Amino acid sequence: MISEMTAFSKADEIDANRMFYLLNKDNLLARFHIVGEGPLETIKIDEQFTEMPQWISNLGEFIENRRAPKKRENIAKLLEMSGCHTLYGWLSITHALSLIDTYWVKPVDSELTWEKVSLYTHEFNEVVAKTAFEGGIHGYNLSTTSPEYGTDGTFAKCWVRENGIIKLMKRGSTGARNAGLEPFSEFYTSQIARELRLDHVDYDLRKHGSRVCSVCDAFTSENVGYLPFAGIDTRSSTIPRVLSIFEEYGLKQKATDMFIFDAVIFNEDRHKGNFGFLVDNDSNEILDMAPLFDHNIAMLCYAEQDDFDRIDSYLSGKGPCIGGEFVEDARALLYPEMRKKLQSLHGFQFERHPKYNLPEKRLGALERVINRQIEQILE
């Protein structure tokens, strides 16, 4: 390993205040500094101390891509209010922490340890969480580490800890006449995944203020992280390419099941960021396929009643992000065991939530469409 003294000797002229270490827990991986100002800030790697896993081919991009997307509802204002709108500010305040792995950064002169900053073991900032979830200003204690600063996705969401369990709360859309139905899709699709005996994240519903949101447990920990498929494959993906890569890890059948499941639930948003692998955070070994999650843009959540009345025409414009056409793809992928599972779903009905449900008319229409979709796949 290259010594820290050697690393510094090669960077005497670099502003020490803009120099950071990249770590995995307490293991030093690299030293880098920030060049440029404002929107032109970027990362320059000075020294790499150890070999990185194959999916981190560009350390600078890996670090910068850990930021929450500004397009997510409420996040741009949160980043600005907390001083995280610049790359330097974001690194200094958040340490690039995330709940998908155990990588983080710290200034080169910092004595911080993983034990002192881990999001898995420390309480979250409630002010940050509430601001990220609801918008508005709910306090001024924003300059602190929080998982909201490193969470991907476009819908307003926040992390909470309840009885020692880390949970994600996610809102639906706003503004349109039929907005806000996405959380129901999470709840109902997890029932189908359960019936098909697929590894998946279970979703529940709760009310936050006047809005219904979905809630689920985190599937990562200090020991096991999440590697999105995008980290493995940066090319344009097709179903054969996805299956080929999963086959390398003995996981082809699980990926096949995912595409069939997506066809059943009309999932229009299975992209390379919301499926992937479970990874050993210490060894970087791929352990399994990650449980299926993030199905809020499924179950025809934007369809209006008129669309159900002309369902064939409406469905003709729907399809997956990866693949060609739902039914055609599922038929091509179907194998005997999954055929039996789909047959067992004949006459499937959703379990109603004790408090929060879609209108019965819409639920009934969805049940008919889902059952018809299964029948067409089985033909």
Q: Which two tokens stand for residue 80?
A: 């600005």
Average pLDDT over residues 253-264: 99
Provide the pairing of β-strand 276-280 with 19-24: unpaired
Does the pLDDT value for residue 131 go beyond 50? no
| Six-digit token string for 147 | 């998982």
Question: What are phi and psi for residue 103, nearest 5 degrees?
Answer: -80, 150
The mean pLDDT value for 254-263 works out to: 99
Q: Are 185 and 296 in contact (CB under 8 A)?
A: yes
The H or E element containing residue 205 is: strand 204-208
Residue 111 has pLDDT above 80, yes or no: yes
Per-residue pLDDT for 350 more than 70? yes
- Which residue segments constitute the domains of the chain, with CATH numbers given? 4-162 (no CATH), 166-191+202-216 (no CATH), 221-378 (1.10.1070.20)
pTM beyond 0.85, yes or no:
yes
| Residue-level pLDDT at 289 | 99
Choice among 177-181, 220-224, 229-233, 347-351 with the minimum mean pLDDT: 177-181
pLDDT band at 172 (very low <50, low <70, confident <90, very high): confident
Q: What is the pLDDT of residues 55-86, one digit of tens each?
A: 898 988 998 888 765 444 445 566 666 667 78
- Binned at pLDDT 50, 70 and 90, residue 31 comes out as very high
pLDDT of 153 over the 60 cut: no
Burial class (CB in 10 A: 0-12, 13-18, 19+), 101: buried
CB 82 within 8 A of CB 139: no
